Amino acid sequence: MNIFTRLLSTFTISLSAVAVMPYFVIAQTPTTPQQKTTQKLCSSDAVENSLPPLVSQKSGEPLSYLGQQGFTQNPDGAWVCYASDSRKQGRYYTLLKVQQINGKLVASSFLEGGILVEGQDNRSLDLFMKLIEKHTKTNQGNRESIRRYLESFFSLVKQAKVQPSNRGYLFDQPNSAVVIYHSVTGEKLKGTAITININSPQNLASSPVS
């Protein structure tokens, strides 16, 4: 734990007090040939043709820019990025998810079976940093430090030096932002997730989820 202590200043938070999104899986069979998409935050798989129709997006929605990054908005207002399962043809699942919950901004990167797929760490970091840039009052220097912190956290998770737990790690005190590596369960799968929780986000409308 020495390396952990050096890299992370921590405090313990009960997950009951931290908004964490549920992990869920959609099992459907794509019927349309896939085409490569341009590199976006959500670009690990081109599954757009197999997904339900997009919910109508209001131009004024504070998270609508995620649509330009390949995310799909669910009826509940959450923005999700899907990935196909390389082990089972025709099945895809939620890889990334962003949602407002009780006034908090919550973003999760889901690790099926506790494993990050290729490129998931960089894509997750880019997503987290975009949210931090747009919805906190951090400056460029702060964000560079935060990215290094989160990169270290992802590295420790991959090395199994951080285990799923109820502990949250503070990375931005003014915005009460924490990162958590926690267990998640779904109807068909069990796994883990790395979640950032920005408790005092900026530039967001009232939370649609209570």
10-residue stretch averages of pLDDT, the chain, 210 residues long: 43 45 42 47 57 51 88 90 76 87 93 85 94 93 95 94 92 92 74 93 66
CA–CA separation, 126 vs 115, rounded Å?
Answer: 18
pLDDT at 105: 95
Q: Supply the pLDDT for residue 186.
A: 66
What pLDDT sits at residue 185? Answer: 75
Please give the pLDDT value at position 93: 80
Say if 205 falls within a structural domain: no
What pLDDT was estimated at residue 28?
41
Neighbours of 6 (CB within 10 A): 9
Q: What pLDDT was estimated at residue 166?
A: 83
Q: Which domain holds residue 153?
A: 2-198
Question: Does residue 135 lie in a domain region?
Answer: yes
Per-residue pLDDT, 8: 44
Would residue 22 count as lying in a domain? yes
Domains: count for the chain: 1
Q: Rounded to whole angstroms, how far apart are CA atoms 13 and 34?
A: 42
**In-domain check, residue 81:** yes
> What are 25's two structure tokens?
């899986």
Residue 204 lies in a domain: no
Is residue 203 in some structural domain? no
The pLDDT value recorded for residue 115 is: 86
209 domain-assigned: no
Structure tokens at 149: 């912190």
| C-alpha to C-alpha distance for 106 and 193, rounded to whole angstroms | 12
96 domain residue, yes or no: yes
